[in-house]
Amino acid sequence: MRILLVEDNQTLADGLASILRGSGYAVDLVADGASAEAVAAAEIYDLVILDLNLPEMDGLDVLRAMRARQNTAAVMILTARGAPEERVRGLDLGADDYMIKPFDVSEFEARIRVLLRRHAGLRSSLITYGAVTFDLTSRTFRSDGAPIDIPAREVALLELLFLRAGKVVSKEAIIRSLTGFDEDLSANAIEQYVSRLRRRLAPHGLTVRTARGIGYYLERLAMPA
């Protein structure tokens, strides 16, 4: 999943970006409101984490512009401006959550998981397809209760396929979801990830099929009796 982090405190921004990337999210980082508004208009994000006191353009104005364009990305406001009227204003403009600095990192991560789950239209943190269950909270996969060892980048790809289980996910959507705008991911690299996932999933009755010229989708394997 892809996150836009808008924060002008470089130390805080780098720390949060490191935490999010360590959890397997693709993160784009900008430090002013004008850049945030432009990037949010040009790219597709699952979540925008938005400071309010920004150079060039206030965070609430960024939020207003996003919602005026019918941008449906989840938005978490992250700010030192904690007055009740500020929170009400942000929520009325379309923010989904509001955290006041300083904050607890574990709570920050938990709220992100809730927002991303809600954005994906899920009520539970568990998604089951065939014999495999994906836990959105721990971002782990299990088969009949036993963990499946999957590297972080492949976890991100399989998460995307699970969230759209049974539907084709285009290569363009995969690249957008797995990379920030300062990264590069080729179609060949995606094919390598898919190939490795097929080997990991086959013993558990799943595979990743290719929709030629379009993308990939999950499918259950016919298991021997």
Res 181: pLDDT? 66
Length of the chain: 225
pLDDT 10s digits, 184-198: 777 788 889 999 999
Contact 192, 207 (CB under 8 A): no
Res 199: pLDDT? 93
| 9 pLDDT tier (thresholds 50, 70, 90) | very high
Contact 62, 54 (CB under 8 A): yes
Of the chain, the percentage scoring pLDDT greater than 90 comes to: 47
Res 66: pLDDT? 94
* pLDDT (mean) for 37-65: 92
Q: CA-to-CA distance for 122 and 192, rounded, in angstroms?
A: 29
pLDDT at 182 over 80: no
Angle between helices 84-92 and 59-68 (to 10 degrees): 20
Res 223: pLDDT? 62
pLDDT at 127 over 90: no
Q: CA-to-CA distance for 96 and 221, rounded, in angstroms?
A: 39
Report the predicted TM-score, pTM, of the whole model to 2 decimal places.
0.78
Catalogue all structural domains in the chain, each as residue range(s) with its CATH number.
2-119 (3.40.50.2300), 126-220 (1.10.10.10)
Query: Which strands, in side-by-side order, build the sheet including 215-220?
Result: 169-170, 215-220, 206-211
pLDDT 10s digits, 91-105: 899 999 999 998 999
pLDDT 10s digits, 142-163: 998 899 988 888 888 898 899 8
Tell me the average pLDDT of the chain: 88
More confident residue, 47 or 145: 47
